[in-house]
Amino acid sequence: MGDDLGDDWWNHDAEAEEETEQEKEPAEKAKTKPEKRKMVTEKSPKAKKKKNNDQKGCTTPQKKEIEDQQSTKPQKKRKRKKKTITDVLATSEPKPGCAADLQDLITRYYSDKRSVIELEELKLQNSCFLSSNDLTHTLSSYLKQVCPKWAKIQKQHSEKSSVVILIVCSSALRTIELIKQLTAFKGEARAVKLFAKHIKIEEQVKLLQKGITHIGVGTPSRISALINNEGLSLQALRYLVVDWNWRDQKLRRMVDILEVKLDFLKLLENGVLAACKEDKVKIGLF
């Protein structure tokens, strides 16, 4: 028959449709692939770098502004540590005290408390001072040097509640040390401790009134208190020895301790300076 095609015609149509569908699929894939590539090219690392560079360019001016602000801020100055006595002595050897040192101490303390005329009255002549310790003496050897006629002087002394030699130091412990050092000098002379630790002032007044005392060793505060209470007289006093050069554990001298220095200056003003000007008392720096 003319219409007979040899095979089923509908089978050929199905195969042709399948072929066309297979051809369309790769074509659609080919179309979609470039679109994906375009997306990849948009997210390339070069673009990221540009973004990062742009961000850095934005942030660097801010950092510069912050740095400029910090540089313009006033910087705190570091406080310099004050030099201590230990620091000074570590770089230099201690110098022995002299009459000029004591005179300078008096002038500096009273400079804003006294008038010019009164300051002149506080000045002492060189004749008011004994030779100073050159750091080679013990207390006994120093006293033998400045008071060579001690044996005669102690025999002539007969006043109660008064001493011939008055030694001023910084503490009770130092007082005891100095009394021990007097052994080679004092001979038969009597020495008493004049400090406030564990000793009432009334007991010391009675002790001074009982017998003849030749040497008194103590702190300036207690000595001044005894003078004010009329327990100690300066009538027989001939030598005032200041424990000037000795240093404690903190390397402080007697005049480096504020309280002791103030008490010492009050003691000098409490009759000692007047007696020096009358040439009755000599001052020595030990």
Question: Which mean pLDDT values do the consecutive 10-residue runs of the chain (286 residues) have?
Answer: 47 49 49 48 48 50 58 61 62 82 92 86 90 93 94 92 96 94 92 89 91 94 93 94 94 94 93 92 95
Contact 183, 267 (CB under 8 A): no
The secondary element (H helix, E strand) that includes residue 74 is none
166 lies in some domain: yes
Q: What is the residue range of 140's domain?
A: 92-285
83 lies in some domain: no
CA 148/CA 187 separation, integer angstroms: 13
133 lies in some domain: yes
What are 165's strand-pairing partners? Answer: 215, 239
CA 157/CA 23 separation, integer angstroms: 145
How many structural domains comprise the chain? 1
Predicted pLDDT of residue 114? 86
Contact 285, 97 (CB under 8 A): yes
Phi/psi class of residue 33: alpha, beta or left (left: φ > 0; alpha: ψ in -120 to 50)? alpha
Residue whose tokens read 């001052």? 283
216 lies in some domain: yes
Residue type, 180: K
CA 224/CA 226 separation, integer angstroms: 5
Predicted pLDDT of residue 246? 95
Predicted pLDDT of residue 121? 83
Predicted pLDDT of residue 88? 59
- In CATH, what number is assigned to the domain containing residue 248? 3.40.50.300
CA 164/CA 31 separation, integer angstroms: 127
State the CB neighbour count (10 A cutoff) for residue 135: 12
Residue whose tokens read 């017998």? 211
Residue type, 157: H
Angle formed at CA 172 by CA 169 and CA 178, multiple of 5 degrees: 55
265 lies in some domain: yes
32 lies in some domain: no
60 lies in some domain: no
Q: How far, in whole angstroms, is CA 88 from its chain's centroid?
A: 12
192 lies in some domain: yes
Say which residues have a Cβ less than 8 Å from residue 154's Cβ, sequence separation at least 6.
Answer: 164, 186, 187, 188, 189, 214
Predicted pLDDT of residue 31? 47
pTM of the model: 0.69
Predicted pLDDT of residue 66? 59
Predicted pLDDT of residue 90? 56
Predicted pLDDT of residue 83? 65
